[in-house]
Amino acid sequence: MRPDLLLPLLAIPGTDRPPRFQAESLVGEVPHSGWLLDEVGEAIARLDGFRFDFLHFDRVAETARAAEAGPPTPLAPHPALVAIDRRSARIEARGGWFWIGDWLLGHHGDAAGAELSFTSAAPRIRLVLHAHGWSGIARVTVDGEVFAEPDLYHQHAGIPHLVEVPNPARRPLRIALAPTGRRHPESQGRQVLIEEILEEAGPPVLPDWRKPAAVNRGGAFGEKALALLAGVPEDGVLLDIGGGRRQIADPRYLNLEYTQFSEPDLFGDGLALPFRDGVIDAIHSSAVLEHVRDPHRFAAEVWRVLRPGGRILVNAAFMQPIHSEGQHFFNHTPYAMEMLFERFADRRVWWGGSLHDAVAWMMQVAKVPGRADPAEYEAFLASLRRFSDMVTYDRLMYVAGDVWLEGRKPG
């Protein structure tokens, strides 16, 4: 959604009070950068690259910048960054690299001599690496010299880790990425994963506010989520709270995320949603509720911003071990989901997962597989699968991996 079309829906977070918008730069008539200000002129959000961010900025500094800013100015063209096809002949990979879907190219970090390399004469080259809880330490070399050794461990989520190689002379550089086999003490693996390789190419261009192609980089949409979007009117909005690294190329879809991924439409907090009362047609939130500090406030905010008659589809962890360390607070039973959203009509609760999946995940995070005899552990998993098949759906409620709820705000 274009920033100027989104503005009428936005509010000072957690309230129904509209902010004041001050544009800094424009692309045509579309705001590209600027500020949202409260009643006393304090910055409550930064607009940058067509996206509003209510979280990741210095409020004091941006308030001062907004106070000193003049009229908005046209944005100058910027050098374009173009992705190199990682399956092309330009990329040389040796030593056991593998694909995760069609998105991540990686290595387990356990083979000497593994390396991914290419040559570029672009004035700027970016390696977009992937940092998560199983990542190790990588090595980036330029013409055989060590350029960087990024530690790609990140305990909370899979996020981009940028390594930028400047090349103002535009001479051919041989750039190589390799696992070192080392890792952060808290990491559960030594993986080196790469999301994209980008290089400056072609003449400068103006950025475009339009939504990118649909992507799903962690947390697929189910049929019910797509049906929820299909029921939203053409001029309506489906808000995905904590949409993570996914995007739907549909102007009705808004991904609100806490973490600065590249895919979301705006950044905000689910405990203080930056929307006016009753302006959202439908709300989807999956694998988020266990990560919020106050589930009751989350449910109240969902109620506040949803239109009368609007529908919700919410999912939460139940029998799942701690994940996203430091940001996993409350698992939820079916009864908890009913209690949190009791004001909604037409509620329906269901659950998923299996006994096998729950126990296998617990064994994995407890690091049992690395300590157990492999044959003995495989025999255990085989038995677990047989026992899991004996669990009927009604009894699965007691050991379900996750719980879903759908409902409607009366009116």
Q: How many CB atoms lie within 10 A of CB 98?
A: 12
Q: Smallest Cα–Cα separation from 90: which of 127, 114, 118, 124?
A: 118
By the 8 A CB rule, do 136 and 199 touch?
no
Q: Is the confidence at residue 109, as pLDDT, over 80?
A: yes
Q: What average pLDDT does the segment 136-143 reach?
A: 98
Q: How many CB atoms lie within 10 A of CB 64?
A: 12
pLDDT value for 125: 98
Asked whether the whole model's pTM tops 0.85, one would answer: yes
Q: What average pLDDT does the segment 149-156 reach?
A: 92
The pLDDT-based confidence of 49 (bands split at 50, 70, 90) is very high
User: Which own/partner pairs from 382-389 qualify as long-range (CB within 8 Å, at least 24 positions apart)?
Assistant: 384/355, 384/356, 384/359, 384/360, 385/356, 387/355, 387/356, 388/354, 388/355, 388/356, 388/357
pLDDT value for 325: 77
Measured distance CA(240)–CA(282) in Å, rounded: 9
pLDDT value for 370: 86
By the 8 A CB rule, do 232 and 197 touch?
no
Q: Smallest Cα–Cα separation from 304: which of 330, 346, 349, 271?
A: 271
For the chain, helix, strand, coil in percent to 5 are 20, 35, 45
Measured distance CA(189)–CA(125) in Å, rounded: 27
137: DSSP letter: B
Residues 184-198: tens digit of each pLDDT: 998 989 999 999 999
Q: What average pLDDT does the segment 345-367 reach?
A: 96
Q: Is the confidence at residue 218, as pLDDT, over 80?
A: no
The pLDDT-based confidence of 383 (bands split at 50, 70, 90) is very high
pLDDT value for 221: 86
The pLDDT-based confidence of 324 (bands split at 50, 70, 90) is confident
Residues 53-62: tens digit of each pLDDT: 999 999 999 9
Q: Is the confidence at residue 156, as pLDDT, over 80?
A: no
Measured distance CA(40)–CA(6) in Å, rounded: 22
pLDDT value for 211: 87
The pLDDT-based confidence of 304 (bands split at 50, 70, 90) is very high
Q: Is the confidence at residue 212, as pLDDT, over 80?
A: no
Q: What average pLDDT does the segment 138-164 reach?
A: 94
Q: Smallest Cα–Cα separation from 144: which of 120, 117, 105?
A: 117
Measured distance CA(211)–CA(224) in Å, rounded: 22
Mean pLDDT of the chain: 95
pLDDT value for 269: 98
Residues 372-382: tens digit of each pLDDT: 999 999 999 99
The pLDDT-based confidence of 215 (bands split at 50, 70, 90) is confident
Residues 272-303: tens digit of each pLDDT: 999 999 999 999 999 999 999 999 999 999 99
All structural domains of the chain, each given as residue ranges with its CATH number in brackets, are 1-77 (no CATH), 81-200 (2.60.120.260), 211-354+391-411 (3.40.50.150), 356-390 (no CATH)
pLDDT value for 217: 82
pLDDT value for 214: 85
Residues 227-257: tens digit of each pLDDT: 999 999 999 999 999 999 999 999 999 999 9
| Sign of the alpha-carbon dihedral angle for 259, 265, 270, 276 | positive
Residues 168-184: tens digit of each pLDDT: 999 999 999 999 999 99
End-to-end CA distance of the chain: 26
Q: Is the confidence at residue 335, as pLDDT, over 90?
A: yes
Residues 398-409: tens digit of each pLDDT: 999 999 999 999
Q: What average pLDDT does the segment 308-319 reach?
A: 98
- β 238-241/253-257 pair status: parallel
Q: Smallest Cα–Cα separation from 21: which of 93, 79, 69?
A: 69
Q: What percent of the chain has pLDDT over 70?
A: 100
By the 8 A CB rule, do 106 and 184 touch?
no
- β 306-317/280-285 pair status: parallel
Q: Is the confidence at residue 220, as pLDDT, over 80?
A: no
The pLDDT-based confidence of 110 (bands split at 50, 70, 90) is confident
